[in-house]
Amino acid sequence: MKRPLILCVAFSACLALAAAGWSSGTATFYGGPDGSGTMGGACGYDNLYNAGYGVNNAALSSTLFNDGASCGQCYLITCDTSRPGGKSCKPGNSITVSATNLCPANYALPNGGCAGVIPVLYQQVQCSRTGGVRFSIAGSQYFLLVNIQNLAGSGSVGAAWVKGDKTGWIQMSRNWGANWQALAGLVGQGLSFAVTSTGGQYIQFWNVVPAGWWQFGQTYTTTQNFYY
């Protein structure tokens, strides 16, 4: 079983590799093989099993994380044996991971604070998910906070809207990570959502949350998902 990765970007990629869609980076391991030490994180997915991400996940550098805009994206990672330390990585293997966390570097420490740094090549790829997009509801009577999870295709959210039974479509804004907020009191109303992925696909998710005395802290699963 693979451990979660910290993926750090390198700013000087080989032109030949860049042309093939690969970039140079470094990776290290953190947490245990069961993923118990990596739950939660800066994307706000909480339990990564329940959110659809399992254990093949990565904490991105600040540059790649992009203030949460990359949450849920998928990256194909392979060994780079052409650089020093590359022999510590098993050549010929690759793994696809999902971005679920942030690992800001501490440049006051060697290797930015990371131990066991391994040179890798990486590129963003399409995500394959099981089941539909999920909406985890939090907030208060004055605002709604929704964690949008399990996106296939590009894997990440570019824009989101919510609609109550008694409202039109309300555009949401990113609060932090994969959490999107609407400054509207929607308690008790049935809720529908619309999402545009960062790949540009737009989907409306009708009647996701039924009207009535639903509670904050619940997660609602749909049958629709993204292709790009």
Domain residue extents for the chain: 23-125, 133-222
Please provide residue 185's backbone torsions phi and psi, each rounded to the nearest 5 degrees: -85, 105
Pairwise CA distance, residues 178 & 72, whole Å:
8
Q: Higher-confidence residue: 171 or 86?
A: 171
- Supply the pLDDT for residue 82: 85
pLDDT band at 1 (very low <50, low <70, confident <90, very high): very low
Q: Does the structure show a pLDDT above 90 at 50? A: no
Pairwise CA distance, residues 136 & 145, whole Å:
8
- Supply the pLDDT for residue 26: 84
Mean pLDDT score, 100-122: 76
- Supply the pLDDT for residue 10: 36
The residue type at 62: S
Q: Does the structure show a pLDDT above 50 at 16? A: no
Give domain 23-125's CATH architecture: Beta Barrel (2.40)
Pairwise CA distance, residues 165 & 184, whole Å:
13
In contact, 90 and 131? CB cutoff 8 Å? no
In contact, 95 and 122? CB cutoff 8 Å? no
Beta strand 94-102 with 57-60 is parallel
Pairwise CA distance, residues 45 & 147, whole Å:
7
How distant, in Å, are the alpha carbons of 3, 8, 38 from that of 147? 24, 25, 18
Supply the CATH classification number for the domain 133-222: 2.60.40.760
How distant, in Å, are the alpha carbons of 40, 79, 97, 100, 224 from that of 76? 22, 11, 7, 15, 24
Tokens representing 148?
């949008």
Look at the block and give the residue holding tokens 């052409």. 82
Q: For 49-63, 128-142, 205-219, which range has the lowest pLDDT when averaged over its residues?
A: 49-63
The percent of residues in the chain predicted with pLDDT above 90, rounded, is 57
What is the length of the chain? Answer: 228
